[in-house]
Chain A
Amino acid sequence: MNTQAKRLYLLLALIPLLFLAAACGGGSAPLPPPPPPAKFSNASLAGQYAFSMTGSELCAGVGSLFTRAGSFTADGHGNITTGLEDINVCTGTATLQFTGGKYSIDGDGRGTLQLTNSTGTTNYSIVLSSTTSGLVAQTDVNVTASGSFQRQNPAAFLNAAIAGGYVFDFLGVDVNGSTVSPASYVGRFDSDGRGGVTNGLFDSNIGGTPSGQQLFPGGAFCQLDTNGAGTTFGRGTANIAGQSFAFYVVDASRLKFNGIGFPSALVGDAFAQQNIAFTAASITGGFAFLIGGSSPSGAISTAGRFTADGAGSLSSVVLDENNSGTITLLPNGTVTGMYTVDDNQFGGGSVTWTDTKSGTFSFVFYLISSSQAVFQEIDSAIISDGTFSAQTTTPISSTALAGDYVLGWNGAGSAEEDYVGQASLSSSGGLTGMTDFNQFSTGRQFFNVLLNGNLSLGGDGTQANDFTANLQTNPAATFHFTTYVVNQNTLFLVGVDTDRVIAGPLVRQP
């Protein structure tokens, strides 16, 4: 898509004309069915929401990674009334208060959001997966980013509310002198409900060098602010795995972190950990995974699935890896795999599988529960992380998957690309919807782009499935994905085209 892109005003203008043309068709033609009732409106976004995102900004004339996390308050009528955010940009970190803003939500859950602070106004496309959560992509000319937001529970804006075990996954860059390296941290800790942190364990992968499991260095804490930002916005500060963060409480089950250890930058979430003693038996059945990050070739993303026997052996390993346009599919030869869960029962562990033709893939994980974990690749020179989730045991079919979904895809072609949208899957696998996306350069912000495609399930649906998405840009663009179905509500997608690396989920709307 090397077109001189404009904001697709023409396409926008055509949409109502197409509807009008259908309604005014020949007299003998049956009237089209009425559009489905709108499921969302401005009233759907009401209350306090915590957000986090990462992306690229133009800094000193070149692209630069940045991160942000914060809280905004929507009044249910299209106005942002207050909020706070922490940013980590190329010139430093800052905590900025929102002085205003606007938003608009369409019936399909898609919409726009503007957040205003002392530096100006930033613009976003958003999509609601429900009234309590959604996906976001920044759509400014010189800034693109993607992330998510969730409704906050102010009753959890207390240290006592964020007590217990948490599993985290942070991704970003580590800066050591003049050396800038991609970095991933996964691990777990216990919050004591008074701001203290114990039992901290982590695995880092900085510049392709895995740390092995480490104890948190001294000085760990996770504490809500005492200056009013804690009780008003759910903001706190933390030292996790030796890194400094600001965080925002979603609720007792989820915290959103933004690194403030400038010039390094990390962003990610922590999830309440199920309070059980984890063993190998905790991982039983089929699991789908999706991870993304960097390699020396460029962007990398991998999706796949495996079956764990509850005793340390893996089978039915299938994956699609896109390493800057080089596609690796497993199985290629014969695949054997194994996993371990740490003897300390805190939910950490390792996964390794070897394909006789494609080599060995190694990972570490920390279990959030027996059905979900954060997942980090530790192979040489690859920094990539994400999640694995238990696959449904109920039959997967196109009929079962039919319905409405939100999409949030992140990728890299000639520059970073961030997509948010909404689409419907029919019972025959057909896809129709609309998306906004930002390709991080002047004139490459696209809005209300029609999307269609097809999901073709293979076998019982638990393995690799083909998914094609056609974007009605000018010229049209086609993305080929492999899809791994987690369950009837979530699908993991990884692009298998050689000209871009792209990945992300489809998440069902109610």
Chain B
Amino acid sequence: MKIEMMMGCAALAGLMTLANTADAQERVSRASPRAAAYDANHEVVVQGTVLEYLENSTLPPIGTHVKVQTSSGTVDVHLGPSSYLHDSHFSFASGDSVRFVGAMSSVDKRPVLLARIAQKGSQAIAIRSTQGFLLATGATRSLSEKQRAQASQKVTPR
């Protein structure tokens, strides 16, 4: 997501006459930051059976959630925008045997698995980057040359 700024007219530029030259500034170190939302160093594997598949869950994070029954209980798995799954022809149904790789996060004080990889049978799809960011609008930026050439055959007006 981006925010388009409506900045007012900045002061007219004059030649910068500051005596200083630019040196990178070492700034005050941060105090204890908010907890990381995706801890790539502590990824887990969640394996089980789909209890419920919700394309637009009312619980955050916004997007698709899968409730998975595992041997140790139920896990809420977040998969991001449903449009990405649709476009990738990937879906789940109750009873599916599934496997997810991701990181547990606390969302509104509830444990949620932020899935990086989703797998159903022989099908797998990358949901997040290794840093934990949703690939929904960026995945095709890393297409191979061959894939890019195929995509360029079907472009819409620019």
Residue from A59, A253, A272 with most neighbouring chain B CB atoms (10 Å):
A59
Choose, from A280-288, A343-351, A460-468, the stretch at the interface: A343-351
In whole angstroms, what is the CA distance A27 to B128 when docked? 65
Task: Let me know if A297 and B60 touch, CB within 8 A.
Answer: yes
A143 within 8 A of B: yes
A residues 426-463 in Cβ contact with B at 8 Å: 440-441
Write out, one digit per residue, whether chain B residues 78-91 have a CB within 8 A of any chain A CB (1) or not (0): 10111110011000
Q: Whole-angstrom distance from the CB of A151 to the nearest CB of chain B? A: 12
Choose, from A15-23, A33-41, A178-186, A236-244, the stretch at the interface: A178-186
Task: Let me know if B37 and A275 touch, CB within 8 A.
Answer: no
Interface of A is mostly: strand
**Closest B residue, CB atoms, query A411:** B1
The interface residues of chain A lying within 8 Å CB-to-CB of B31 are 352, 354, 360, 362
Interface bin, chain A: 35 or more
A residues 186-227 in Cβ contact with B at 8 Å: 190-191, 193, 198-201, 207-208, 212-215
The interface residues of chain A lying within 8 Å CB-to-CB of B123 are none
Write out, one digit per residue, whether chain A residues 263-290 have a CB within 8 A of any chain B CB (1) or not (0): 1110101011111010000000000001
In whole angstroms, what is the CA distance A118 to B41 when docked? 48
Among candidates A91, A163, A201, A326, residue contacting B60 with C-beta atoms closer than 8 Å:
A326
Task: Let me know if B30 and A164 touch, CB within 8 A.
Answer: no
In whole angstroms, what is the CA distance A171 to B143 when docked? 21
A305 within 8 A of B: no
Task: Let me know if A64 and B141 touch, CB within 8 A.
Answer: yes
The interface residues of chain B lying within 8 Å CB-to-CB of A349 are 27
The interface residues of chain A lying within 8 Å CB-to-CB of B32 are 354, 359-360
In whole angstroms, what is the CA distance A250 to B151 when docked? 34
Among candidates A140, A274, A368, residue contacting B156 with C-beta atoms closer than 8 Å:
A140
The interface residues of chain A lying within 8 Å CB-to-CB of B71 are none
Task: Let me know if B37 and A146 touch, CB within 8 A.
Answer: no
The interface residues of chain B lying within 8 Å CB-to-CB of A352 are 28, 30-31
Task: Let me know if A440 and B151 touch, CB within 8 A.
Answer: no
Chain B interface (Cβ < 8 Å from any Cβ of A):
1-18, 20-28, 30-38, 55-56, 58-63, 78, 80-84, 87-88, 103, 105, 107-108, 114, 128-143, 147-148, 150-152, 155-158
